[in-house]
Amino acid sequence: MARNILVALWLFAEMLLPRSSWPAEAQQKVRIGYPSSAVSTLPFDIAKEKGFYTKAGLDVEYIQMRSAIGPQAILNGNINFFTSPQAAINAAVAGLPLVVVLSLYRDTPWVLVTTKDIAKAQDLVGKKIAISDIRSSPYYFARAGFKKLGLDEKQVSLVTTGGTSNSFATLATNQVSGAVLSPPFDEKAVSSGYKKFQIHNSRDRIRKTISAVLDAVAWQRANRAETIKMIASRFKISATEAEHSYETIIGILSPDGAMDLKKVRGYLTLLREERPIPESLDAEKLVDFSMLPSAR
């Protein structure tokens, strides 16, 4: 059976020099689904605004949707890509023909931001923590964090909001004691008095989409000042918050756009805690990075 494709957003790729334009041809229509807008999705905005998609021969449309419906939207033909690796792996483990083809971050941009009265792990017991969705990236990062803190996730009440911006709003209006956020919402929360608690498409279309996004990442790295201004304007935050958000994202860039299989195996370990998954399941079957520039 041919496999559909989910693009994994959460690991940035190395800086690549912009390549020459693809041969002139009719533009291919591409629809990309995403859970919510954040600094981590900026390469996709840059790719569109700076013409990298057009140069690659693509006509790209963005469609916002919850992580839970992204995989089915691909299978139904409503979108071609979705920007959540967790959604891809969850669907693949369940037997759906989906695979991750691009990973933009080597580390997670997600952090737990809490009210100032949360000083230690035990202070989280009985508290409400906002996440985007069950089985979303923030959900699994939160679970891993609680486990590392020695907490049972049942000791904390997770509140789903539908997106990172909604999680920030829920925290800012004191409906929860903490939220799993990524830039710029983490810096925006800190500035507000909170504190950080210390992924059937043709291969041609896939390659072109990856190429355009990586060109956008290259532009982002090479144009620091303009990118910081873009972040400040787009998310209505201060220049200082925007600069911190930029540095956070740049600091976790992946060297090649691929995902470390150790991370995939670690994620499968988390999934096995909530559902039966064969120990023989090979993590390599859940990803396909053969269309990355580094693989050619």
19/87 same-domain check: yes
Whether the predicted pLDDT of 54 surpasses 80: yes
Percent over 90 (pLDDT), the chain: 32
- Where among 197, 215, 234 does a domain terminate? 197
Min mean pLDDT across 13-22, 52-61, 86-95, 161-170 is at: 13-22
For the stretch 94-110, pLDDT in tens is 888 888 888 887 777 77
Min mean pLDDT across 8-17, 156-165, 187-196, 223-232 is at: 8-17
Q: What's the structural domain count of the chain?
A: 2
CATH code of the domain covering residue 39: 3.40.190.10
Residues whose CB is less than 8 angstroms from the CB of residue 147 and which lie 6 or more positions away in sequence, other chains included: 153
95/125 same-domain check: no
Residues whose CB is less than 8 angstroms from the CB of residue 155 and which lie 6 or more positions away in sequence, other chains included: 124, 125, 126, 146
127/9 same-domain check: no
Written as one letter, the residue type at 108 is T
182/287 same-domain check: no
Whether the predicted pLDDT of 191 surpasses 60: yes
- Where among 197, 212, 231 does a domain terminate? 197
pLDDT of 129 reads 95
205/88 same-domain check: yes
How far is Cα 45 from Cα 62, in angstroms, rounded to an integer?
A: 9
128/173 same-domain check: yes
Min mean pLDDT across 134-138, 145-149, 188-192, 212-216 is at: 134-138
pLDDT of 198 reads 66
Segment 241-246 mean pLDDT: 94
Across the beta sheet with 58-64, the strand order is: 58-64, 28-34, 81-82
For the stretch 158-171, pLDDT in tens is 999 988 889 999 99
115/130 same-domain check: yes
How far is Cα 238 from Cα 119, in angstroms, rounded to an integer?
A: 27
Segment 35-50 mean pLDDT: 87
Alpha helices in 50-178 (DSSP H): 52-55, 70-75, 85-93, 137-148, 164-172
60/189 same-domain check: no
181/214 same-domain check: no
Q: What's the burial of 145, exposed, middle or buried (CB within 10 Å: 0-12/13-18/19+)?
A: buried
pTM to 2 decimal places: 0.61
Min mean pLDDT across 11-25, 43-57, 125-139, 271-285 is at: 11-25
Range of the domain at 242: 4-107+199-295
191/147 same-domain check: yes
Whether the predicted pLDDT of 6 surpasses 70: no
Alpha helices in 123-202 (DSSP H): 137-148, 164-172, 185-191
Whether the predicted pLDDT of 141 surpasses 50: yes
211/285 same-domain check: yes
For the stretch 192-227, pLDDT in tens is 889 888 633 467 888 888 889 889 999 999 999 999
Structure tokens at 181: 């956020």
Confidence of residue 27 (pLDDT cuts 50, 70, 90): confident
Confidence of residue 18 (pLDDT cuts 50, 70, 90): very low
Whether the predicted pLDDT of 145 surpasses 90: no
246 vs 87, which has greater pLDDT?
246
pLDDT of 37 reads 81
- Mean pLDDT score of the chain: 82
Length reported for the chain = 296
Residues whose CB is less than 8 angstroms from the CB of residue 137 and which lie 6 or more positions away in sequence, other chains included: 10, 67, 84, 85, 86, 108, 110
78/219 same-domain check: yes
- Where among 178, 197, 216 does a domain terminate? 197
268 vs 25, which has greater pLDDT?
268
How far is Cα 154 from Cα 226, in angstroms, rounded to an integer?
A: 44
pLDDT of 38 reads 79
